[in-house]
Structure formats: structure tokens, C-alpha cells
Amino acid sequence: MKKILSSVMTLIFALAMVSCGGNANSGAREAQELSGAGATFPLPFYNVVFEEFAQVNGDAVAYGGIGSGGGVRNLRDKIVDFAGSDAFLSEKEMADMNPVIHIPTCMGAVVLAYNLEGVNELKLSGEVIADIFAGEIKMWNDARLAALNPGVTLPAEAIIPVFRSDGSGTTFVFTDYLTKVSPMWASKYGAGKSVNFPSGQAAKGNPGVAGVIKQTKNAIGYVGSEYAFAQKIAYAQIQNQRGEFVEPSSESISAAASGEIPADTRCSITNADAAGAYPISTFTWMIIYKEQNYSDRSKDQAVATLDLLQYILSDEAQHITSEVHYAPLPAKAKELSMTNLKTVTFDGVTILQ
């Protein structure tokens, strides 16, 4: 009995030490457990950042990769501290809930991953991608594909498009791009988190799509870049608005965000008109309520949420982005986000000074 008691005491003492020692920046508050849910697209980046954040700040973050739409729904139901989303909320969605702010966390690319034996380099243009996913280009040796890829022997096999079976921010980014580059796509299918692709097969989540492509010869599909890199699946170079064929990389993604960014950071950067820009690039956001006092949350929890976002905007965290094949935010986006964070309140009182 005594032994158990003493070990419990030791444990409590140790925990107290950890929470005191870890809480570097705001001193007084206790370590919090934050919970968020949403996009799987930035998950590889978040996994690293949250771990670092836990070490620096002592707050634990639990993030459920349930898809952008699911994350937003959880935020609307007020059961999470933040939602992760690759698609910014529409005016209609924003009208349905209390005021929120969007904080971009990093930028990423949606890549066209393919499984073609003996083909290491594939070049695609926006219109060709749209026609492939619309089922209008059916064979790999189609004349239009061959014209884009001189010197590459493309097999006389049917193309198997792979897409997302669940609603997804990745789908939104991809179809948003197709809508911009192909009038046919815009009129027939449009952009959205769920789109009725006419041909091919679907799988759940970014990992699911990557898995199917890896296992299926002659398949092509769209996934968050990190998922293609991690599974070592080949991906295509995409022709941007300037006519250059660009590979997804930290630099080419950053180039896509060199244009104007609105004050609330809600903007699409697909098909950007910039030299060296990868055309299917996107911001990914964390969305939080402007008024942080909801669902019995404590002020400490609200402060911890802001600490997390500030940490993500810091150079230290942004530095991680390129290590996991995302791209750091442009200075302008960080600046706007800091301004937006300062408008966040608890019981009507702003939290950050």
C-alpha cells in the first residue's frame, strides 16, 4: 500500500514538473489537451508540428484526419478546438455558423500520381487531365498524351482514373483547378469536395487513393504530394499558365502564392499566373471561432489554441514544412494571420495583446 502511495506521489510530482517546465510562454496556465479534426492532406506536416509543439509548450494536440468536411462539421457542432480544411468555407457555410477565422498553416500540392511500368517522366496539361478524369481520353497512348510526351513510350492500355470516395478538400483543390482550366469540366462537373467523377474507381482518404494507385497498373489519381512521396509513387509534371512543365516542390508551390492574398486569407491559388508556379497548389487552413468561449471551454484552452496557431506561424514550425514536402507560408499570409489572431476573443475580450 505504502509503495503504491509513494509511486503515485512520485508520478504526480513528475507530472507537475513536466507541466511547469514545459509551459514556456504563458507561465500561469496549465497544460491543455487540444483537439482538432479535419483534412488528411496536411496530416504528415501536422504530425510533426504537434509533436514539436507538445515538447516546446507542453500542450498535447489530438488531431483526427477525418476529412475537411468532417472537420468543419465538428467545428460547427462545437466539439473541437479547431478544424483543419483544405477548402476555405464558402460565404454560405460561414453564414451557417458563428464567426470564424481562417489561419493558413502551410501550402501543399496535389499531385497527379500514376502507375505506368517503365514511364518515369510524364507531362500533363490541365485540359488533358480534365479529359482523362471526364473519361474522354481513355487510352494511355492517346494522341494528345503522346504529343505532350515526345520520346516516351506510353502503353496501349486503358487509363484507370482513381478518385476520392469521401468528400475531401483535396478533391476541392483538384476540381477547382480543373474548373479553371477546362470549360468542359466547369460546365459538366464543377468544383466541390464531392464531385461525381464519371469513370474509374474511388478510395477513401489520401492514403486509400495512394494505395490503390500503387497497386493498380495504368492507374492515375490525385493525392496530397506527401502521400505520393511517402509511397514512392511517380507523379506527373503539370503545365502551368505560363506553359512551363513544373514538378511539385517547395519552391514551385511557394511561387504559386506570390500573388495577392485577401485579408481573411480565403483564396484559391490554383492555376496561378506566375513563373515556375505549380498549378495545383493550395493553402491549407485551420479554422477557429472568433469567440473562443463555447461548449464550456476554459480560457486556458482558448489561450492554448492561440499558442498552437502562433507556433505554427513561427519560423521554427514553418521550417518543418519543406522537410515534409510542403511549402512555408509567404510573409504576407503570416502577417495577415497574426492580425486575424489578434481579433480572437474570450467572453468578448481579446486574448492576444
Partner 1 sequence: MNDKIYKVILFIAALIMPIVCGGVVYALVTDAYDAFEHFGFFKFLTSSDWSYTEGAEQYGALPFITGTLMTTLLALVFCIPFSLPVALFVGEYFKGTKVAAVLSTVTDLLAGIPSIIYGLWGFYTLRPIIMALNISEQGSGVLTASLVLAIMIIPYAASLSAEFIKMVPNDLKEGAYSLGATRAEVVRKVIFPVAGSGIFSSYVLAIGRALGETMTVTMLIGNTNNIPNSITSTGNSMASIIANQFGEADDLRLSSLIAIGLILFLITAIINMVGKIMIKRARIS
Q: 83 to 142, contacts with partner 1 by CB under 8 A? A: 92
Among 85, 115, 168, 340, binds partner 1 (CB under 8 A): 168
Query: Does residue 36 bind partner 1 (CB under 8 A)?
Result: no
Query: Does residue 155 bind partner 1 (CB under 8 A)?
Result: no
- Is residue 29 a contact partner of residue 298, using CB atoms and an 8 Å limit? no
Query: Does residue 217 bind partner 1 (CB under 8 A)?
Result: yes
What CA–CA distances, in Å, run from 225 to 113, 129, 248?
9, 17, 8
Please choose, out of 185-193, 221-229, 236-244, 301-309, the segment that lies near partner 1 by the rule CB under 8 A.
185-193
Tell me the CA end-to-end span of the chain in Å, nearest whole number. Answer: 50
Query: Does residue 218 bind partner 1 (CB under 8 A)?
Result: yes
Query: Does residue 201 bind partner 1 (CB under 8 A)?
Result: yes
What CA–CA distances, in Å, run from 130 to 3, 177, 179, 282?
69, 9, 9, 18
Query: Does residue 250 bind partner 1 (CB under 8 A)?
Result: no
Cα 252-209-173 angle, rounded to 5 deg: 45
Give the closest residue to 161 by CA, choosing from 189, 186, 183.
189
Q: Give the torsion sign (CA, 286, 289, 294, 297).
A: positive
Among 49, 132, 203, 287, binds partner 1 (CB under 8 A): 203
- Is residue 88 a contact partner of residue 94, using CB atoms and an 8 Å limit? no
Query: Does residue 166 bind partner 1 (CB under 8 A)?
Result: yes
- 34 vs 160 by CB, closer to partner 1: 160
- 7 vs 190 by CB, closer to partner 1: 190
Note the residues at the interface with partner 1 (CB under 8 A): 66-70, 73, 92, 157-158, 160, 165-168, 190, 192-197, 200-204, 211-212, 215-219
